[in-house]
């Protein structure tokens, strides 16, 4: 069975996860994750840290499902589940905690998140770097509220994004600000939720979020527009754009990949292609204070990758006319031999105006599913 990699490792300093977000969309804490700030520490004099911290928690909210009909992840500020409280350092060496005096924060089941008072703001009003760190700590614990476990810093394939559910490499506190709610975090939600799109398993909803998960090779260009991203090749017709997703699986599992495209302007005939590349990944190394290791995503370990192998490709010819709707372009299923795999989808085209220069072609989301 394939599992989008987003997964497990434990942590110098950050909390113990619990399984939770089931494929029918409920969490072990209920339908939504509810949180509330409680107790002293959030407000000192006229300084209320909550408004800024809410903006970080709300970062989990920005992702919508495939039809934008409901949120993939839902966080509500309301008493009922995760009560956020500051606790003295000694609290974290008590029984019932996996951590010790160095622990930043712990999520207790569905009841509470305890944060170490060692990390209260150094001054009031709190400096911006404190918010950047504490905001990520809260995101991380809320992520556990969804049932997400730990992931590796190298497992998010958007530029310069360390997943918020990664642990050791964040460097503790300060240093947590290195993390962002990233591709890998959303993959965890999409996989767990299972209702994101008809394919049930997707690389991302990246085009809903602009180009952040996508990359181009040199000389090509794109812009975001209605319905997705417009991409065109370089001036000599070369180049492609691509998106990479980590999956774990049983060796021998097969995956499909799909991207939709549309031609919005007339011109010369041409072809659009999609390619599925894959590379094997191995993890090694001990990790940091690791417990709860599930899928081989090892935060401090070495991530070794093979070269990319072309698994499947497909091309569709267009007679030069505008197409009225997005059309699917799907690779055939390809079997993977490694236990951990990065799947990279590349797309390109050679369609041109009558003038001969290349047109931008509209694309929407990359989708990957296990066959
Ligand atoms: Zn954690
Ligand atoms: Zn506690």
Q: Which tens digits make up the pLDDT trace of 286-317?
A: 454 333 323 333 344 567 889 999 999 999 99
- What CATH number corresponds to the domain at position 131? 3.40.390
Q: Please indicate, yes or no, if residue 294 is contained in any of the structural domains.
A: yes
Whether 288 and 215 share a structural domain = yes
Q: Please indicate, yes or no, if residue 23 is contained in any of the structural domains.
A: yes
Whether 363 and 266 share a structural domain = yes
Q: Which ligand does the CA of 15 lie closest to? A: 1
- At residue 342, the pLDDT reads 83
What is the distance in A from the centroid of ligand 1 to the CA of 16?
A: 6
186-208: average pLDDT: 50
Q: Please indicate, yes or no, if residue 159 is contained in any of the structural domains.
A: no
Q: In the listed set 148, 164, 180, which residue is the last one of a domain according to the structure?
A: 148
Q: Please indicate, yes or no, if residue 260 is contained in any of the structural domains.
A: yes
What is the distance in A from the centroid of ligand 1 to the CA of 236?
A: 48
Phi and psi at residue 128, in whole multiples of 5°?
A: -60, -35
Whether 229 and 315 share a structural domain = yes
Whether 363 and 220 share a structural domain = yes
What is the distance in A from the centroid of ligand 1 to the CA of 142?
A: 9
What is the distance in A from the centroid of ligand 1 to the CA of 167?
A: 7
Whether 143 and 231 share a structural domain = no
Whether 225 and 337 share a structural domain = yes
> Which residues are bridge partners to 152 per DSSP?
none
Whether 109 and 212 share a structural domain = no
What is the distance in A from the centroid of ligand 2 to the CA of 290?
A: 20
Whether 121 and 222 share a structural domain = no
pLDDT above 60 (res 169): no
Q: In the listed set 148, 173, 197, which residue is the last one of a domain according to the structure?
A: 148
What is the distance in A from the centroid of ligand 1 to the CA of 227?
A: 36
Whether 134 and 224 share a structural domain = no
Q: Which tens digits make up the pLDDT trace of 210-232?
A: 566 778 887 899 988 777 789 99
Question: Domain limits at 289?
Answer: 206-370
Whether 230 and 127 share a structural domain = no
What is the distance in A from the centroid of ligand 2 to the CA of 17?
A: 13
What is the distance in A from the centroid of ligand 2 to the CA of 357?
A: 63
339: how many CB neighbours lie within 10 A of its CB? Answer: 17
Q: Please indicate, yes or no, if residue 3 is contained in any of the structural domains.
A: no
What is the distance in A from the centroid of ligand 2 to the CA of 32?
A: 22
Q: Please indicate, yes or no, if residue 341 is contained in any of the structural domains.
A: yes
Whether 113 and 218 share a structural domain = no
- What CATH number corresponds to the domain at position 312? 2.60.120.260
Whether 309 and 234 share a structural domain = yes
Q: Please indicate, yes or no, if residue 43 is contained in any of the structural domains.
A: yes
In this structure, are residues 259 and 365 in contact, taking their beta carbons and an 8 Å threshold?
yes
What is the distance in A from the centroid of ligand 1 to the CA of 84?
A: 15
Q: Which ligand does the CA of 88 lie closest to? A: 2
Structure confidence at residue 102 as a pLDDT band (50, 70, 90) = low
Average per-residue pLDDT in the chain? 75
pTM: 0.75
Count the domains in the chain. 2
Q: In the listed set 103, 133, 148, which residue is the last one of a domain according to the structure?
A: 148
């Amino acid at each position: 069975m394939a599992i989008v990699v987003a997964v497990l490792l434990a942590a110098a300093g950050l909390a113990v996860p619990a399984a939770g977000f089931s494929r029918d969309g409920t969490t072990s804490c209920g339908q939504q994750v509810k949180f509330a700030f409680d107790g002293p520490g959030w407000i000192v004099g006229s300084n209320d840290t909550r408004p800024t911290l809410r903006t970080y928690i709300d970062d989990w909210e920005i992702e919508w499902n495939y039809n934008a009909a409901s949120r993939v992840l839902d966080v509500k500020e309301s008493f009922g589940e995760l009560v956020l409280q500051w606790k003295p350092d000694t609290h974290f060496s008590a029984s019932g905690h996996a951590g010790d005096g160095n622990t930043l924060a712990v999520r207790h089941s569905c009841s509470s998140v305890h944060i170490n008072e060692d990390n209260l703001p150094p001054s009031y009003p709190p400096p911006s770097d404190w918010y950047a760190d504490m905001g990520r700590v809260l995101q991380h614990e809320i992520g556990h509220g969804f049932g997400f476990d730990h992931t590796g810093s190298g497992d998010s394939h958007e530029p310069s994004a360390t997943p918020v559910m990664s642990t050791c490499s964040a460097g503790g506190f300060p240093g947590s600000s290195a993390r962002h709610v990233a591709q890998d975090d959303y993959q965890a939600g999409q996989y767990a939720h299972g209702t994101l799109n008809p394919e049930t398993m997707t690389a991302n909803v990246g085009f809903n979020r602009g180009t952040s998960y996508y990359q181009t090779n040199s000389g090509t260009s794109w812009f975001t527009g209605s319905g997705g991203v417009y991409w065109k090749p370089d001036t000599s017709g070369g180049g492609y754009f691509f998106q990479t997703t980590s999956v774990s699986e049983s060796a021998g599992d097969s995956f499909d990949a799909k991207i939709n495209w549309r031609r919005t302007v007339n011109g010369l005939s041409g072809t659009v292609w999609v390619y599925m590349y894959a590379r094997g990944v191995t993890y090694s190394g001990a990790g940091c204070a690791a417990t709860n290791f599930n899928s081989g995503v090892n935060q401090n370990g070495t991530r070794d990758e093979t070269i990319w192998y072309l698994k499947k490709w497909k091309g569709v010819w267009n007679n030069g006319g505008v197409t009225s709707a997005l059309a699917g372009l799907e690779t055939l299923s390809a079997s993977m031999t490694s236990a951990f795999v990065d799947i990279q989808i590349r797309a390109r085209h050679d369609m041109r105006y009558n003038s001969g220069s290349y047109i931008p072609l509209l694309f929407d989301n990359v989708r990957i599913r296990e066959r």
